[in-house]
């Protein structure tokens, strides 16, 4: 099986978010896909199979399948665009989280998806102990997210991941603040999925971009994820949709030996 490792939401190797992309000629069992993802140890491994004019796309963390992952979708689009079709400028994916359209322009990829709604949340008693800081405001969407005072606070927090696993709400935890050189910054944590900190999280910007678009009164936003590898994303909020722009870089092309 052809296998690629792609660094996503970056123009440079060894930054952004690495993801494994498996190109399937024949269907694999869920058990085998999970074992491959566990072996890879990336936050997500994507499995791509052509189905007519579209591509089936599934995502596995090291411990479970998830329905939606934009950085792995970006990596899959990069592989399809550079190694499979090469002349296509529009790629359509069918995922368990719904349809996803990617427009390719050179090494720029625009991922079109739905915005995530969010609601204010009463203060969570244990969150200060988990984050090591008291957030200014709290919200819930697919993930819990917390507004902090500055990029420095976002950069410096050292979460308690074991306690974070036991939060009753949210798939993950996001912290965010208004940026200085960018519109906003963030960090994203998913210990429930076996990923303590994600390096570049496209799906979190489906929550944060609408939030900051409302606060900053603008529809185009520059997002900086302050993970150890850092990642920069350009987000466009158009009604109830979000368009996220990013680049990708190939690290490895190889073959997985399927038993």
Query: Catalytic residue positions?
Result: 44
What is the rounded distance in angstroms from the CA atom of residue 77 to the CA atom of residue 44?
Answer: 15
Instruction: Specify the DSSP class assigned to residue 217.
Output: T
151: enclosing H helix or E strand: helix 151-156
For residue 220, the cross-strand partners are: 236
Tokens 């974070």 locate to 164
Other Cβ atoms less than 10 A from the Cβ of 129: the count is 11
Integer Rg of the chain from CA: 18
Structure tokens at 55: 């591509």
CA distances (Å), 256 to each of 1, 5, 83, in order? 5, 12, 17
What is the rounded distance in angstroms from the CA atom of residue 54 to the CA atom of residue 109?
Answer: 17
What is the rounded distance in angstroms from the CA atom of residue 242 to the CA atom of residue 251?
Answer: 28
What is the rounded distance in angstroms from the CA atom of residue 38 to the CA atom of residue 35?
Answer: 5
What is the rounded distance in angstroms from the CA atom of residue 255 to the CA atom of residue 200?
Answer: 25
Backbone torsion region of residue 98, taken as left when φ is above 0, otherwise alpha when ψ lies between -120 and 50, otherwise beta: left
Is 34:61 a contact under the CB 8 Å cutoff?
no
């Amino acid at each position: 099986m052809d296998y690629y490792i792609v660094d996503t939401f970056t123009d440079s190797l060894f930054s952004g978010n690495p993801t494994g992309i498996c190109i399937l000629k024949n269907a694999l069992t869920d058990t085998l896909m999970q074992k491959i993802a566990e072996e890879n140890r990336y936050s997500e491994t994507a499995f791509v199979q052509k189905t007519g004019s579209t591509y089936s796309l599934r995502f596995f963390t090291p411990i479970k399948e998830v329905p939606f992952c934009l950085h792995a979708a970006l990596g899959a689009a990069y592989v399809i665009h550079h190694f499979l079709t090469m002349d296509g400028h529009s790629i359509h994916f069918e995922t368990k989280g719904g349809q996803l359209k990617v427009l390719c322009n050179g090494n720029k990829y625009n991922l079109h998806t739905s915005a995530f709604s969010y609601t204010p949340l009463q203060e969570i008693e244990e969150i200060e102990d988990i984050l090591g800081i008291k957030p200014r405001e709290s919200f819930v969407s697919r993930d819990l997210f917390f507004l902090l005072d500055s990029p420095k606070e976002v950069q410096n927090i050292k979460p308690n991941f074991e306690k974070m696993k036991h939060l009753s709400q949210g798939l993950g935890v996001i912290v965010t603040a208004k940026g200085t050189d960018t519109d906003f910054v963030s960090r994203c944590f998913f210990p429930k999925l076996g990923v303590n900190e994600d390096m570049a999280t496209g799906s979190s910007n489906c929550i944060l971009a609408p939030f900051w678009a409302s606060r900053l009164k603008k529809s185009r936003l520059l997002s900086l994820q302050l993970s150890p590898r850092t990642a920069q994303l350009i987000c466009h909020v158009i009604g109830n949709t979000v368009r996220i722009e990013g680049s990708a870089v190939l690290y490895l092309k190889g073959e997985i030996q399927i038993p």
